[in-house]
């Protein structure tokens, strides 16, 4: 038999599998699965050990387990939310199954006397140990259910595709996999384990697999694949970087006079760290290649000033600067700051946002294309098609983690005429751990502002259960009657601005009643820009004492007299986001406090996360912790956009591979450039297009 005749799995359409018609193919496409190779590389994100039953009496909170027993009682209870609760007993203990969503037939079947086996996570709840929405099946004492004899893979799934459907398709595919149709691409010194073998093993780990290693992602087969996956990412980033660095940008030499005039107009002196970063940028933009620099600085470290110095250097050379902020509130704050700083120097500051009046917008667009606007501050409205610049020399993006790479690229593309590309400065308060930064941002140079302006007092953080809400309100009352100001932040699980606004409104009314005599204000994403401006101005002026807000105030907002921050249901937010919110206080010289007002029950995991907030004020430490607990997609805020999502690699865990990966990437680029495409295609597939410039 000729091996050459076998087509690679990359060339066989997914519909070649039995049972995959047009409809299923469409659903698979949403998971980026188009070919048999794509399916084969759709790897389990984790495994469940369902090979043994755990006695209820031995269960620990936080443990994922299989349990089984008899339902002793079953009832619909009306607490804060209606739920179906079933007491399950197995001779060693009892546990409550809790369902917030349930059908009539579920309720009719989950009745006393039925035998049930459940799979899920045990949590400490109000009735002792509980499992929320476990997977379950019924059995009777004669016909015991069989336990699986290998680990159960859990795949990333999308709408309309179940785990068992995917498991079925993969079982159908695996017998066809061999060394010929899944060729090795790595130089041989890196591939001691065959790819086909590793893939087979990881989709269906055998009975005697080293469970602990697999669960931790440290099995040699996983490491073999993680290496190749990280290599694919590295190659792809190198390609982007090369492309950018081979293009031109305007040289923007430093004009010392304008810098000095600006800095001497300020009421404070830049910190040493600010000076250093200003110099790094100044040096970069004086070169004819596009700068790609990420400035990291914890909340309150003074990134705005650094941005201003860079902007001024570009403007002094006759170029325009675009400054993009993620929210309207922040864009407005920047506009005020920059106007205040720049207008005395004769610089025109324009602004563009999504909600301005048509006539204002028209004026601003005209002033931007004519070059009259020298600095243009705005939200994502800046990169809409109709926005044209006369001579864009520098793009500054504040709070980068809120923007996807696409948006970043769109703005960069705006400057692409005549002189080449604009320089780009990205500022983020989300400190990105080193290992992650190296891999995720291979296309950026990094500057760190590692010093806070003098006179800041650290924020102390407390965890308080919602049961003690009244005490917290009393505390707000006494703080505000002493002249201090407070933020009260409402969070919601649903990604709906309308619902979130509603919840904040209810809270504001409630607080206003309890805090009679103190002015309570309200700000959320549904207000008009002019209304937001008014509320913020009143809060800044101290006319509003307590500002009830949704997470719209998360980034950038600066009101030094506010020294108390209450965050409701902090368990719903990521650590980086909490750190951002907390960064709104601790800006003045009075001692500041942050209260995390959590809802019960809090999972073990939730408690671990919130404790990290109490233990440190250091954004870098918090980011490290976030990375450990949630993975890089969440930390970088890129989960939704699909970039930097790994199938099985984990930058934190696999940091030890990074050096070898970089060496290998260099060797492949030099000796086997023909392998670059197939490696990237295999691991990044469609996703790589996002990284194109």
The least CB distance from residue 251 to Mg ion, in Å, is 28
By the criterion CB under 6 A, which residues form the site for ligand ADP? 268, 270-271, 274, 297, 299-305, 429, 453, 556, 558, 587
d(CA 412, CA 290): 10
Give 125 or 556: the residue with its C-beta nearer to Mg ion. Answer: 556
The least CB distance from residue 333 to ligand ADP, in Å, is 8
- In this structure, how many other beta carbons lie within 10 angstroms of the beta carbon of residue 190? 18
Angstrom distances, CA of residue 360 to CA of 147, 321, 353? 68, 20, 10
Give 124 or 276: the residue with its C-beta nearer to ligand ADP. Answer: 276
Closest CA to 217 of 639, 645, 650: 650
Residue 558 contacts which entry, ligand ADP, Mg ion, none (Cβ below 5-8 A, type-dependent): ligand ADP
Give 302 or 422: the residue with its C-beta nearer to ligand ADP. Answer: 302
Residue 317 contacts which entry, Mg ion, ligand ADP, none (Cβ below 5-8 A, type-dependent): none
Instruction: Identify the H or E element spanning 477.
Output: helix 469-481
Give 378 or 556: the residue with its C-beta nearer to Mg ion. Answer: 556
Give 398 or 650: the residue with its C-beta nearer to Mg ion. Answer: 398
- In this structure, how many other beta carbons lie within 10 angstroms of the beta carbon of residue 73? 13
- Contact pick of 69, 433, 556, 632 for Mg ion (by CB under 5 A): 556
Angstrom distances, CA of residue 383 to CA of 197, 243, 319, 372? 47, 22, 18, 18
Residue 302 contacts which entry, ligand ADP, Mg ion, none (Cβ below 5-8 A, type-dependent): ligand ADP
Residue 268 contacts which entry, ligand ADP, Mg ion, none (Cβ below 5-8 A, type-dependent): ligand ADP
DSSP string, 484-537: -EEEEE---SS--HHHHHHHHHHHHHHHHHHTTTS-EEEE-TTS-HHHHHHHHH
The least CB distance from residue 302 to Mg ion, in Å, is 8
Angstrom distances, CA of residue 41 to CA of 170, 174, 629, 631? 10, 11, 25, 20
The least CB distance from residue 355 to ligand ADP, in Å, is 23
Residue 448's DSSP bridge partners are 296
The least CB distance from residue 268 to ligand ADP, in Å, is 4
The least CB distance from residue 449 to ligand ADP, in Å, is 7
CA 367 to chain centre: 36
Could you give the count of Cα atoms lying within 13 Å of 257 in the half-sphere of its Cβ? 4
The least CB distance from residue 562 to ligand ADP, in Å, is 12
Q: Taking CB positions, which residue lies at the least distance from ligand ADP?
A: 302
Residue 297 contacts which entry, ligand ADP, Mg ion, none (Cβ below 5-8 A, type-dependent): ligand ADP
DSSP string, 421-454: PPEEEEEESSPPPHHHHHHHTTT-EEEEE--PPT
Residue 570 contacts which entry, ligand ADP, Mg ion, none (Cβ below 5-8 A, type-dependent): none
d(CA 147, CA 144): 9
The least CB distance from residue 305 to ligand ADP, in Å, is 5
Give 429 or 581: the residue with its C-beta nearer to ligand ADP. Answer: 429
Closest CA to 309 of 336, 280, 288: 280
Give 200 or 296: the residue with its C-beta nearer to ligand ADP. Answer: 296
The least CB distance from residue 540 to ligand ADP, in Å, is 11
Give 233 or 334: the residue with its C-beta nearer to Mg ion. Answer: 334
Give 442 or 449: the residue with its C-beta nearer to ligand ADP. Answer: 449
When asked if residue 326 is in the footprint of Mg ion (CB under 5 A), the reply is no
End-to-end CA distance of the chain: 44
Binding site for Mg ion (CB under 5 A): 556
């Amino acid at each position: 038999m000729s091996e050459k005749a076998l087509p690679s799995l990359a060339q066989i359409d997914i519909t070649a599998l039995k049972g995959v018609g047009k409809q299923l193919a469409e659903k698979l496409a949403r998971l980026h699965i188009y070919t048999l190779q794509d399916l084969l590389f759709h790897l389990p994100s984790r495994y469940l050990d369902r090979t043994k039953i755990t006695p209820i009496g031995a269960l620990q909170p936080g443990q994922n387990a299989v349990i089984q027993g008899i339902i002793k009682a079953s009832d619909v209870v009306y607490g804060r939310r209606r739920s179906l609760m079933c007491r399950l007993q197995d001779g060693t203990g009892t546990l409550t199954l809790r369902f917030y969503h349930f059908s009539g037939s579920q309720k009719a079947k989950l009745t006393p006397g039925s035998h049930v086996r459940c799979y899920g996570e045990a949590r400490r709840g109000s009735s002792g140990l509980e499992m929320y929405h476990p997977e379950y099946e019924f059995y009777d004492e004669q016909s015991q259910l069989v336990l699986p004899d290998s680990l159960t893979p859990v795949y990333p799934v999308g709408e309309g595709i179940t785990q068992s459907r995917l498991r079925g398709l993969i079982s159908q595919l695996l017998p066809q996999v061999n060394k010929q149709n899944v060729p090795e691409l790595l130089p041989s010194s890196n591939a001691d384990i065959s790819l086909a073998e590793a893939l087979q093993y990881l989709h269906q780990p055998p009975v005697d697999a080293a469970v602990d290693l697999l669960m931790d992602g440290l099995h040699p087969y996983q490491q073999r694949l993680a290496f190749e996956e990280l290599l694919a990412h590295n190659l792809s980033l190198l390609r982007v970087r090369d492309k950018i660095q081979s293009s031109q940008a305007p040289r923007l030499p430093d004009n010392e006079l304008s810098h000095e005039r600006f800095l001497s107009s300020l009421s404070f002196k830049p910190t040493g760290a600010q000076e250093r970063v200003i110099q790094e940028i100044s040096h970069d933009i004086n070169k004819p290649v596009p700068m790609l620099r990420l400035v990291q600085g914890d909340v309150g470290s003074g990134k705005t000033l650094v941005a201003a110095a860079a902007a001024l250097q570009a403007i002094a050379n006759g170029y325009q600067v675009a400054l993009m902020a993620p929210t309207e509130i922040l864009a407005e704050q920047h506009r005020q700051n920059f106007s205040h700083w720049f207008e005395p120097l004769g610089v025109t500051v324009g602004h563009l946002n999504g909600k301005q009046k048509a006539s204002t917008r028209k004026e601003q667009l005209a002033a931007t294309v004519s070059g009259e606007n020298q600095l243009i501050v705005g939200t994502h409205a800046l990169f809409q098609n109709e926005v044209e610049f006369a001579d864009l020399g520098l793009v500054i993006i504040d709070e980068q983690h809120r923007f996807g790479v696409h948006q970043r690229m769109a703005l960069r593309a705006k400057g692409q005429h005549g002189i080449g590309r604009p320089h780009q400065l990205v500022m983020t308060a989300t400190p990105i751990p080193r290992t992650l930064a190296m891999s995720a941002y291979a296309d950026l140079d990094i500057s760190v502002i590692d010093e806070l302006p003098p006179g800041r007092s650290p924020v102390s953080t407390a965890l308080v259960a919602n049961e003690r809400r009244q005490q917290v309100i009393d505390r707000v009352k006494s703080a505000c009657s002493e002249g201090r100001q407070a933020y009260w932040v409402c969070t919601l699980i649903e990604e709906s601005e309308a619902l979130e606004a509603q919840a904040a409104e209810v809270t504001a009314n409630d607080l206003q009643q309890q805090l009679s005599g103190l002015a309570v204000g309200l700000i959320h994403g549904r207000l008009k820009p002019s209304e937001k401006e008014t509320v913020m101005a009143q809060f800044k002026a101290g006319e509003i004492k307590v500002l009830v807000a949704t997470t719209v105030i998360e980034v950038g907002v600066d009101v030094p007299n506010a020294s108390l921050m209450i965050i409701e249901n902090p368990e719903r937010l990521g650590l980086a986001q909490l750190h951002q919110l907390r960064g709104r206080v601790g800006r003045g010289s009075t001692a500041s406090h942050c209260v995390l007002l959590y809802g019960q029950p809090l999972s073990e995991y939730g408690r671990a996360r919130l404790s990290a907030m109490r233990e440190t004020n250091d954004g870098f430490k918090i980011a490290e912790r976030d990375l450990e607990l949630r993975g890089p997609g969440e930390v970088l805020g890129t989960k939704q956009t699909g970039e930097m999502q790994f199938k099985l690699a984990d930058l934190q865990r696999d940091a030890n591979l990074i050096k070898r990966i970089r060496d290998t990437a260099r060797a492949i680029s030099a000796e086997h450039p023909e392998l670059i495409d197939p490696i990237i295609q295999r691991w990044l597939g469609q996703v790589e297009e996002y990284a194109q410039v």
